[in-house]
Amino acid sequence: MPDSFFLDSNVCLYILDKHSNKFQIAKELLKKRPTISTQVISENINLYIGKLDQSKGFAIFHAKSLQFAWDVISITNQTIGNACSHFAKHNYTFFDCLILANAPEVRCNILYFEDMHQGHLIKNQFRIINTFSELTK
């Protein structure tokens, strides 16, 4: 069975930046139909409006494209509880911990992140891979 994988918010952002050296990697990952969470979509909206100064309309368009193009899993009360456990144990943001908590719910065994510890194995269930590590060598 091929690896199932989950994507971080930043990977989804790079799909719209054709001038970035990270665009092609993001494009290849997104072609393989990853799983993302409602948190990833929410964070993308927030980043587009706040940090990247895009319009609400553009942010909504991007969110809908993510929603309908890939598998999306919702955050539940159980997800939040598991995220709190990860947050207490690891040095990751709470939003990243939501993704760590969501991944096993859909049996993902790989998490592609931009800014987490390369190769970190979480509860012997899934491994974190720095999506763009080849670019930093």
Burial of 66 (0-12, 13-18, 19+ CB in 10 A): buried
pLDDT tier, 50 (very low <50, low <70, confident <90, very high otherwise): confident
pLDDT given at position 3:
64
- The CA–CA distances, whole Å, from 97 to 7, 16, 79 equal 13, 25, 9
- Which of these ranges, 53-57, 73-77, 125-129, has the smallest mean pLDDT? 125-129
Q: How far apart are CA 35 and CA 112, in angstroms?
A: 11
pLDDT higher than 90, residue 105: no
**Sign of the alpha-carbon torsion through 86, 90, 94, 100:** negative
Q: pTM (2 decimals)?
A: 0.81
Mean pLDDT of 86-106: 89
Mean pLDDT of 98-117: 83
3-class state of residue 131 by DSSP: coil
Domains of the chain: 5-136 (3.40.50.1010)
Which of 128, 28, 6, 4 lies closest to 79, judged by CA?
6
pLDDT given at position 119:
60
Q: How far apart are CA 48 and CA 13, in angstroms?
A: 8
Mean pLDDT, the chain, rounded, equals 84
